[in-house]
Amino acid sequence: MTVLASSQAVSEVVPSGLASPSEAAKRTPVYVPPDSPELDHARDVLRRTFGHADFRGMQAGVISEILAGHSAMAVLPTGGGKSLCYQIPSLIRPGLGLVISPLIALMADQVQGLRQAGVAAERLDSNVSMDERADIWRRIDAGEVDMLYLSPEGLMQPWMLDRLSRTPLALVAVDEAHCVSQWGHDFRPEYRMMGRLAELFPNVPRLAVTATADARTRDDIRAELRLQGAAEFVDSFARPELALFAERKRGKGHDRVVELVLERPGRAGVVYAGSRDSTEKLAEKLNAEGVPAVAYHAGLDKAVRARRLEDFLEADAAVMVATIAFGMGVDKPDVRFVIHADPPAAIEAYWQEVGRAGRDGQPAEGITLYGSADMAWAGRRIETKDAPDEVKQAQARKLRQFYAMLEGVTCRAAAVRRYFGEEGVDRCGVCDICVSPPTGIDATEAAQKALSAVHRMGGRFGRGRLIEHLLGKTKDVTPQEAQLPTFGIGRELSQPAWRDLFDTLIFEGLLREDPNDGRPLIGLGDVEGVRQVYRSERRVALRQMVEAAETGGRAGGAVRKRREGKALTIPAENQVLFEALRSWRKEQAQAQHVPPYVIFHDATLAEIAAARPATLAALGKAGGVGQGKLDRYGEAVLKVVREN
């Protein structure tokens, strides 16, 4: 695995137990001293344009690689500044920076932010009129555009490729590059076409960036985009500001979602639901409780979707109830919580989605509600996909790994980081497992009874009927069933405990659940695993569940103190000015029809409120105030400071 130490401008090849067969083919990145003229120039652009004092993490290494004219792949965590890795070189290298992005909302968000910083950025998508397109191309031909955003479908149109072949390019960046891989969680066939970029633009450096890719997915990205000889940068997946929680669904899952949202008043959040109908119903429930919530899904009219997205991005406290269609296109920095009313089907998708929270570096939460029915539903979707058996098997394995993490008794953040190949990972100290470690009991003997009952009942019954059998409470029991050795042998556990154990056995693959047209049947799963449990060679642990109704759930009481108070602490003496700056920012955002955060983040306003700058030079020292924003907003901000 190629890793760049955050304090250096050179990457080091570090042996890893998860290293893939193609490791040897990766090129050692170019060495660029931290004080080199190239990096000094890049830092100057960073300061002047984006208002940041220096690069962080692996940004300097990736940027140095592109500035040297080399292609690369970078896997950087959500909020880790991936976009700067291609934006800075686009502003330095001669030619047009070309960025391939999968979602219109994502392109629009980045273009808005770049324009606020004074960068000449444009996008070409279905929302751009013919007259606007003609003007964009005129400006590109005149060298007046720094960066152009395209979708993969738009890029691979023959006329587009012909036009670009006559346009000098600074680089080609493939954003959300995990979409290239059939082993990834969000495979998109149209991304496969982009392997042609290597032959179409042989002398242009190409950069593949993503926030989530395990070793196998990274290999696939490299192969499909023809980056086998390129340097690879894989940063830590640590998100110390993000506290993760998970709890099994109890009763009506929607009611629990409403409880969780009501416990977090006045905060922006995202709730993910598995269907369009669920998003609508959940939004209605939340609105009935006084929560400003809207539904977002692909079935809505495009104009309605756009308006709801704009409203959410501009609001200080709102909840978006969405399907996965509302995923990568969200760069709202002050999302304080993400709740999965229905869980995704892989750790990669989970990490992308909870990664919507806390992008400003302030404390945030990712809460997942899950059950065996969710796992069964996701498994059925995988089975019905039009994909090779090998791909289906890989996705089924990812599904089991994800539920094993949810059901596990080890630090959640550490489990995710190990999944992506990190070594030497410490406990996060803030997830539900770390804050309130669950008590585990050895349930191997009970598991043997359950597996035996399923076997003797022939896989013809659901869990409720099987539990009645184990408890000896079957109504109108037949003589044949009453004579079975498993009838009534499970009275040592309560009915809820048996339900939990059946869930655990399904999560571990020892039992399988057949949908049976809505009346699920339980049968034996992994044959060898079942044998190991029968022989006591494999132990089964049952986590003692804490009832949500009594404690507020794992996402409730255990970290209530962490949630109380504002994520961004503003001293009392700065509060009036901070709020005045936010009011000014809101007026500016509404006038321009852009999200407030593309003007200034809360953290920038807090720094201004603390420093109370009296001159443009002093204001320019605040983080996030680049020259473009200083020219555009400087005098107005100083006026607000003087008056408050």
pLDDT at 559: 44
Q: Could you tell me which residues come within 8 angstroms of residue 267 by beta carbon, excluding any fewer than 6 positions away?
A: 317, 336, 337
440-544 is a CATH 3.40.50.2000 domain = no
Assess whether pLDDT exceeds 90 at residue 382: no
User: Of the segments 27-36, 342-351, 385-394, 399-408, which one has the largest average pLDDT value?
Assistant: 342-351
Cα-to-chain-centroid distance, residue 165? 34
For the chain, count helices (H), then strands (E): 28, 19
Assess whether pLDDT exceeds 70 at residue 518: no
Q: Could you tell me which residues come within 8 angstroms of residue 202 by beta carbon, excluding any fewer than 6 positions away?
A: none
Return the H-helix or E-strand segment holding 2. Answer: strand 2-4
pLDDT at 558: 44
Where does the chain hold its CATH 1.10.150.80 domain(s)? 572-643
Contact 437, 409 (CB under 8 A): yes
Q: How far apart are alpha carbons 397 and 405 in whole angstroms? A: 12
Classify 442 as helix, strand or coil.
strand
Q: Where residue 271 falls among pLDDT bands split at 50, 70, 90?
A: very high
Assess whether pLDDT exceeds 50 at residue 23: no
Assess whether pLDDT exceeds 70 at residue 641: yes
Q: How far apart are alpha carbons 55 and 6 in whole angstroms? A: 9
242-435 is a CATH 3.40.50.300 domain = yes
The amino acid that residue 543 corresponds to is: R
Q: What is the DSSP letter of 421?
A: T
Tokens of 363: 């404390």
Per-residue pLDDT reduced to its tens digit, 317-362: 789 999 875 554 567 888 999 999 999 988 888 998 898 888 888 8
In this structure, of 192-201, 283-292, 434-443, 543-552, the range with the lowest mean pLDDT score is 543-552
Tokens of 104: 């219109």
Assess whether pLDDT exceeds 60 at residue 248: yes
pLDDT at 571: 86
Residues of the chain with pLDDT > 70: what percent? 87
- CA distances 121 to 90, 96, 98, 130, Å, are 10, 10, 10, 18
Residue 444: exposure state from Cβ atoms within 10 A (0-12, 13-18, ≥19): middle
Tokens of 614: 């009296």
pLDDT at 126: 82
In this structure, of 101-105, 257-261, 444-448, the range with the lowest mean pLDDT score is 101-105
pLDDT at 340: 95
2-234 is a CATH 3.40.50.150 domain = no
Q: Where residue 567 falls among pLDDT bands split at 50, 70, 90?
A: low
Tokens of 601: 């983040």
Residues of the chain with pLDDT > 90: what percent? 35
pLDDT at 553: 45
Contact 383, 355 (CB under 8 A): no
Per-residue pLDDT reduced to its tens digit, 63-109: 999 999 999 999 987 767 889 999 999 999 999 999 998 877 778 88
Assess whether pLDDT exceeds 90 at residue 316: no
pLDDT at 446: 93
Task: Domain 572-643: give its CATH code.
Answer: 1.10.150.80
Query: pTM of the full predicted structure?
Result: 0.72
Q: How far apart are alpha carbons 341 and 368 in whole angstroms? A: 7
525/209: higher pLDDT = 209
Where does the chain hold its CATH 3.40.50.300 domain(s)? 2-234, 242-435
CA 283-285-287 angle, 5° bins: 70
Assess whether pLDDT exceeds 50 at residue 10: no
Q: How far apart are alpha carbons 265 and 282 in whole angstroms? A: 16
pLDDT at 551: 37
pLDDT at 132: 93
pLDDT at 526: 81
Cα-to-chain-centroid distance, residue 375? 19
Q: What is the mean pLDDT of the chain?
A: 83
Q: Where residue 564 falls among pLDDT bands split at 50, 70, 90?
A: very low
If you average pLDDT over residues 149-176, what whole number do you get? 91
Return the H-helix or E-strand segment holding 392. Answer: helix 389-407
